[in-house]
Amino acid sequence: MKKKVAIIGSGIAGLTIANLFKKNSNFEIMVYEREKLLSLEEGYGIQLAPNSTSILNKIGLSNIDNKDFFNPSKLNFYSCDNQKICDLDLSRFNSEKFKYTTLKRSVLIEFLKNKLFSNNLRFGKEVKKISKIKEKLLINFKDNSNDLVDFIVVSDGVFSNTKSVIENKNIQPIYNGSIAIRTIIKNLSEFNYDKNNISLIMLKNAHIVIYPINKKEELNVVCIIRQKLSNNIDLKELINKEILSQNKNLENLFKNQLEYWPIYTSKKPSKSIYENLFYIGDAFYTFPPTMAQGASQSIEAAYELFYLLSKDNKNTPELFFKKRLEKTKVINRRSKLNHHIFHFSNPLLKTIRNKSLKLMIKNKFFLENYIGKVYN
């Protein structure tokens, strides 16, 4: 008999695992999303490293319209005065079939959604209670409907309310002390950076990442600034004070509509009290954005869990958690270190950083260990 899988949350993690299960006739899936519909507004850009594009290729990533994504081949490092320090060759981690890819989150979500049947998705659903009935799990939803399933995959993002309901305790992420300001720039005549690759500008207590998200000359700009949490942030004023005071020429980047959100990270990776319930994506662990691995890890976790469950491995809960924990530790350490290094203010530290960067990006051992371990 087919195994029934309920997936809670239709973000990148939930839709990826739904697509993987859909290709296996031993499983029957249903995705339950809290919102009334899938948000396909413009959204921000995301970077997908080869560790996730290799998985998305299995479900046809290459069929996305060629104009709607980009394959940058370099990451350029700049100091706050627009001096290029060096560049990292990203293409060395690519293969013939899967490449470092940048695109709009909405393009990825739409691609993942279109691969599912509409009767695989239910909207306006929020979990009220989970109970164990013999080997199965009974889900009670707030609208009084229910579903009895073999497995539950929870992928409801950074604030994962479902996690607090299931584990019966209030589990909240922590504010990491920074906000992310995002905007999209188009057809800029005066642009001092590389339009075809990723640019990282390192400033005091802030950094800016710019990259193309398609072949229509649209670039995603994300500016991470250390900032106390507050409800009322005047973005123009903040950018003037924290960014333009360091480099007036960056003004061009912030002329379009700006949006911001506070950055939250998880306290620790999540393991359920139930053997047949799993957390993936940000619900498992939310990373700081400085390795650009949040979405890629969501996809990787979806694949690892799908693989173990499809092999009917009895030790799935332990194996899945162990592997995820190892990878989470590696990425978390690097993300925190990057965050610190990108924001140096001391001139001596900055000089040492820039010199070391130039050496390290040519060092094979460093590349294979620091980055290759994450991207492979």
Binding residues for ligand FAD (CB under 6 A)? 8-14, 32-35, 46-47, 126, 155-157, 161-162, 180, 222, 263, 281-283, 289, 292-296, 298
CB of 373 to ligand FAD, least distance (A): 16
Structure tokens at 271: 């393991």
CB atoms within 10 A of CB 277: 23
Q: Which is nearer to ligand FAD, 45 or 367 (CB)?
A: 45
Q: Which is nearer to ligand FAD, 155 or 328 (CB)?
A: 155
Q: Which has the closest alpha carbon to 71: 94, 52, 54? A: 94
Cβ-proximal residue to ligand FAD, closest one: 11
Q: Which is nearer to ligand FAD, 341 or 350 (CB)?
A: 341
Helical packing angle, 294-310 and 316-342, nearest 10°: 170
CB of 9 to ligand FAD, least distance (A): 3
Q: Which is nearer to ligand FAD, 13 or 30 (CB)?
A: 13
CA 124 to chain centre: 24
Q: Which is nearer to ligand FAD, 34 or 353 (CB)?
A: 34
C-beta separation of 116 from 22 below 8 A: yes
- Cα–Cα dist 163/154, whole Å: 8
CB of 121 to ligand FAD, least distance (A): 11
Q: Which residue has the tokens 């799993």?
A: 278
CB of 348 to ligand FAD, least distance (A): 30
CB of 217 to ligand FAD, least distance (A): 19
Q: Which has the closest alpha carbon to 70: 240, 195, 154? A: 195
CB of 50 to ligand FAD, least distance (A): 12
Q: Which is nearer to ligand FAD, 212 or 294 (CB)?
A: 294
Q: Which is nearer to ligand FAD, 340 or 362 (CB)?
A: 340
- Cα–Cα dist 39/195, whole Å: 28
Q: Which is nearer to ligand FAD, 250 or 292 (CB)?
A: 292
CB of 312 to ligand FAD, least distance (A): 25
Q: Which is nearer to ligand FAD, 212 or 289 (CB)?
A: 289
Say whether 162 sits in a helix, a strand or coil: helix
**E strand map for 190-255:** 198-203, 206-212, 218-226
CB of 332 to ligand FAD, least distance (A): 13
CA 32 to chain centre: 20
CA distance readout (Å), 25 to 7, 207, 223, 299: 17, 46, 44, 21
Say whether 222 sits in a helix, a strand or coil: strand
Q: Return left, alpha or beta for 184; rule: phi > 0 is left, psi -120 to 50 is alpha, else beta.
A: beta
Say whether 353 sits in a helix, a strand or coil: helix
CB of 32 to ligand FAD, least distance (A): 6
- Parallel/antiparallel/unpaired status of strands 101-104 and 84-89: unpaired
Say whether 203 sits in a helix, a strand or coil: strand
